[in-house]
Amino acid sequence: MGLALTVAVGLSMFAGIGSAQAATKAAVVAEDPGPVGSFAWEGFNWQKRFWGGAPMYNGSWDANNVSNPDANGYVKLSITNPTGSAPVGAEFQSTREGFGYGTYSTTVEKDVSSLQKEVVWGCLFTYDPNAVPGYTEIDLCEASAWGGGSAYGQNWPVTQGHGYWFDATKPPGQGNNTINFDTTNAPILTHRMVWEPGKITFETFAGVNASGTLLKRTVLQGSTVPVPAKEQIHFNLWVTGGGGGDAAHVAPESVTIRDFSFVAGIPLTAPTPTISGTAAVGSTLTANAGTWTAGTSLAYQWYRNGAAISGATASNYVLAAADQGTKLTVRVTGTKSGYATTTKESAQTATVVAGTLAAPTPTISGTLTVGSTLTANTGTWTTGTTLTYQWYRSGVAITGATAKTYTLVAADQADTMMVRVTGSKAGCTTVAKYSASTAAVS
């Protein structure tokens, strides 16, 4: 009975998480609020139901029975019965499709023990009508007496339920997994759900933000636990035509929803990365990610004084001239299906200093006779280094002799020759290297 008898009403959803900590309003940061709907609330967009159909026994719903958030951020759902014999239900749902594993929480003002026996309060549920073999639905907490009994005059008590449907093509007890428990007259209830792969943990508390008495904790796990798809979150208040109640003549009823929060995914094991390498232009820095949850995919982004460096998305980074005088960090982002995407940032490096050029000592080749050409053999310098030359006659610079080669003239006879090679590159310290002196020119 109870939750197992209907497509969820109230707050139903499919979602998942890995932390059992209470979600709070401050935790709601909706990267995907969903398309614009009737109103925005708690970081998400929501659509008030105006169309007819199930599960309301007469298919009658009215968008006006869902209030906009008030000054406190509360949303009120009401059942109205303007003619006294034709009740009208209230429902609103997220415009976003697909929430996934994570922690879901809502705080509600309602003494559910006082619900009329025909009224069903669906307090947060996820629902995916396209799931196969039949719709999948998770009910964070649904409360009702389901008409009060199987025949008129019976008096079933109001109970609450935690659970889910995994196959709506099967009857209650076969296509669903639910646990019912007694209500209290607590005026405020907080419901929380942690959805993980193969496991859902439900909790209902008396009071605000899980600060009160734990009324019921239900852990359901196994192969029938729904998996994320295109589920939407619903809250609804409606009238069931089943049981032995008098559905047409219910009195007006209302529930106030104080908040809703969703924190996505199971937390990853995510250590703070470190950086190894020398903070000098031309040197290679390496991001050391540490040990994350097995199977996590890691992505990297390097930052210069807090600004992302375009294209610097590998685990290694070669310091460029633009990095001189700055400090670098790296952010490592881990992703894994069913887990919350997590980003960790390293501490800053020391200030990047000018790089040191690879600068071998040059040699001179050629015949030491007037009219012959000498050549400066530079060796292998740091890639990208610009080289300039200056030739010397017995230690004195020769005016205009600034090419890689030099043709000996009469003035060089009986003197020794030497060449200086100067290397420069942006971001690096300029280096000059001198060859050894030759023998005297003949």
* 112 domain-assigned: yes
Whether pLDDT at 249 is above 70: yes
Amino acid of residue 257? I
Q: What is the mean pLDDT of residues 145-170?
A: 88
**Which residues, 6 or more positions from 251, have their beta carbon under 8 angstroms from its beta carbon?**
81, 116
Whether pLDDT at 123 is above 70: yes
Q: What's 89's DSSP letter?
A: B
Q: Could you tell me if 279 and 315 are in contact, meaning their C-beta atoms sit under 8 angstroms apart?
A: no
Residue 129 — very low, low, confident or very high, per pLDDT cuts 50/70/90? confident
Q: What is the mean pLDDT of residues 168-191?
A: 92
Whether pLDDT at 254 is above 70: yes
* 442 domain-assigned: no
Q: What is the mean pLDDT of residues 263-281?
A: 90
- Structure confidence at residue 410 (pLDDT): 96
* 439 domain-assigned: no
Percent of the chain with pLDDT over 70: 93
442-to-212, 391, 405 alpha-carbon distances in Å: 104, 18, 18
Report which of 384, 272, 388, 387 is spatially closest to residue 318, judged by C-alpha positions. Answer: 384
Residues 94 and 166 in one domain: yes
Residues 361 and 344 in one domain: no
Whether pLDDT at 4 is above 50: no
- Structure confidence at residue 21 (pLDDT): 28
CATH assignment of the domain containing 148: 2.60.120.200
Residues forming beta bridges with residue 193, ordered by sequence position: 104, 202
Whether pLDDT at 258 is above 60: yes
Whether pLDDT at 44 is above 50: yes
Residue that terminates a domain, selected from 303, 326, 354: 354
Residues 72 and 219 in one domain: yes
- Structure confidence at residue 15 (pLDDT): 30
Q: What is the mean pLDDT of residues 335-350?
A: 89
Whether pLDDT at 26 is above 60: no
Whether pLDDT at 27 is above 80: no
Whether pLDDT at 199 is above 60: yes
Residues forming beta bridges with residue 292, ordered by sequence position: none
* 240 domain-assigned: yes
Mean pLDDT of the chain: 89
- Structure confidence at residue 46 (pLDDT): 98
Residue that terminates a domain, selected from 239, 264, 289: 264
Residue 263 — very low, low, confident or very high, per pLDDT cuts 50/70/90? confident
- Structure confidence at residue 304 (pLDDT): 98
In this prediction the pTM is 0.60
- Structure confidence at residue 17 (pLDDT): 24
How remote is the C-alpha of 154 from its chain's centroid? 50
Q: What is the mean pLDDT of residues 410-416?
A: 97
Residues forming beta bridges with residue 205, ordered by sequence position: 190, 214
Q: How far apart are the first and last CA of the chain?
A: 114
Q: 284 in the Ramachandran plot: left (φ > 0), alpha (ψ -120 to 50) or beta?
A: beta
Residues 92 and 241 in one domain: yes
Residues 331 and 389 in one domain: no
Residues 423 and 378 in one domain: yes
* 293 domain-assigned: yes
- Structure confidence at residue 193 (pLDDT): 94
Residues 345 and 362 in one domain: no
* 96 domain-assigned: yes
* 269 domain-assigned: no
Least confident segment among 48-52, 141-145, 190-194, 265-269: 265-269
Residue 134 — very low, low, confident or very high, per pLDDT cuts 50/70/90? confident
Q: What is the mean pLDDT of residues 24-31?
A: 46
Domain interval for residue 427: 357-434
Residue 325 — very low, low, confident or very high, per pLDDT cuts 50/70/90? very high
Residues 362 and 252 in one domain: no
Residue 231 — very low, low, confident or very high, per pLDDT cuts 50/70/90? confident
Q: What is the mean pLDDT of residues 349-374?
A: 96
Residues 90 and 202 in one domain: yes
Q: What is the mean pLDDT of residues 133-148?
A: 89
CATH assignment of the domain containing 307: 2.60.40.2700
Q: What's 440's DSSP letter?
A: P
Residues 317 and 376 in one domain: no
Residues 405 and 317 in one domain: no
Residue that terminates a domain, selected from 290, 325, 354: 354
* 441 domain-assigned: no
Whether pLDDT at 2 is above 50: no
Percent of the chain with pLDDT over 90: 76
- Structure confidence at residue 30 (pLDDT): 58
Residues 198 and 327 in one domain: no
The total of structural domains in the chain comes to 3
